[in-house]
Homo-oligomer: A and B are copies of this chain.
Amino acid sequence: MTQIEDAKSGKITREMACVALDERIAPEILRKRIASGEIVIVTRRKCKPLGIGKGLRTKVNVNLGTSSVVVDPDAEIRKAMIAVEHGADTISDLSMGSDIDEIRRAISYAVSVPLTTVPIYQTTAEKGSFHKIDQDDLIRIIQKQVQEGVSSVVIHAGFTLDTLTSLKKASRTMGMVSKGGSFTAAWMIAHKKENPFLERYDEILEMLRRRDVVLSLGNAMRSGCVHDLSDKPQLSEIQRNAELARRANDVGVQTIIEGMGGHVPVKEIVAYVKYHKKIAGNRPLFVSGPLPTDIAVGYDHIAACVGASIASGAGADYLCAITPSEHLALPNIDHIREGTIAFRIAAHIGDSMKYGLSDRDLNLARMRRHRDWEGQFKFALEGEKARQIHSSGDTCTMCGDFCALKIMEQYLGH
């Protein structure tokens, strides 16, 4: 039985009890939301179950993996470890170079968080081109990854040949920027066939259901720059994905919907998230970024932190971290760390909008008030970094002898 099947039948599983405890939510409320598809539980062997969705802490995913031109499997494993060390809730292995099975297995041993894959990546990499892929290859790779025990797989099933025709007509600057989406679309055009994931959807759902692997419905039509507005292909994909999520839930498959992401003017983020959540029956919404500007190249993690803070505050449940190397190169270990931290900040700010201010902020302020440096490092998101910057002494070197807190302590008895 999958979590959603159990939830529908009224059963509170061990996984639900664990998530309920972690998130301080009543198990019965959690169960109901899993049954209605508003919350999913992702997990895998030797990994603590993780809840994503309505009323739960905003989660952060970190993408990594080899590319066809940069292959260093050890570096990818170190990236996974660094990301988890700095608070990544999940990892996605997007490897397309070297022995992909081997890298995925190594990452899955190295970290104890849920692991997501995009099966069309491995299929395309192994065949060398989408020309040579047939539907059975796709099914075979999904099957292999599912049986191996990944937590979640991404498929781009939300568009058809008709959507591609309307994409061709759309007046976009950036066209389609989703990699998985572009492989799927290119295959469809080259083979003059419908979306393979859509054609084999029931079969894929049955594979996922058997192992309770969470389905993640990819976002192929997202905008690739802030000037590319929500258009027909994008809206059609949102609606199709919402419908596909209902179908998946109906047959017992837990489902996350990827939405928005990419590049969105900051003014439109809140409305977009609310619209998406409404259309999708409040199912878990996964967003990448969004970037509210295109000119922060090299600092996209900071610009995306702004977009992601607002998006999660408006209801997005699950954020995909953007690194400083976005649009430029495969991220190195430092980039992964910086991206993870920026997104942990975004998730925390988003949660303060969703759920109110946290005690952790108050605890840190109290330690700061009393110039208890160790206490501040303890409650800080990145205590070690703070410790590195702080110079020893009772006050910080910015104010030295002229610390406002010390002065006010003396004069106001604060």
Please give the residue numbers on chain A whose beta carbons come within 8 Å of chain B beta carbons, in ascending order. 67-70, 96-97, 124-125, 164, 167-168, 172-179, 181-183, 185-186, 189-190, 224-228, 265-267, 292-299, 301-303, 305-306, 309-310, 313, 324-331, 335, 341-342, 345-346, 348-349, 352-353, 357-358, 360-362, 364-366, 368-369, 376-377, 379-383, 385-386, 388-391, 393, 396-405, 407-414
Contact = CB atoms under 8 A, between A and B. Distances in A.
A389 B298 contact: yes
Nearest to A404: B182
A396 B328 contact: yes
What is the copy number of this chain in the assembly? 2
Interface class of chain A by DSSP: helix
B299 A342 contact: yes
Contact of A174 (B297, B329, B368): B368
Nearest to A343: B302
Which of A327, A341, A413 neighbours the largest number of chain B CB atoms within 10 Å of its CB?
A327
Contacts of A326: 398
Contacts of A358: 295
Contacts of A226: 352, 357, 361, 365
A226 B361 CA distance: 7
A382 B297 contact: yes
B68 A401 contact: yes
Nearest to A377: B297
A309 B292 contact: yes
A298 B388 contact: yes
Contacts of A224: 365, 368-369
A171 to B, nearest CB: 11
A408 B182 contact: yes
Nearest to A391: B329
Contacts of A379: 295
Nearest to A354: B267
B402 A179 contact: yes
A379 B410 CA distance: 51
B399 A67 contact: yes
Given A173-B362, A328-B390, A329-B390, 6 more contacts: A69-B393, A175-B414, A186-B410, A297-B377, A297-B383, A325-B389
A274 to B, nearest CB: 16
A341 B407 contact: no
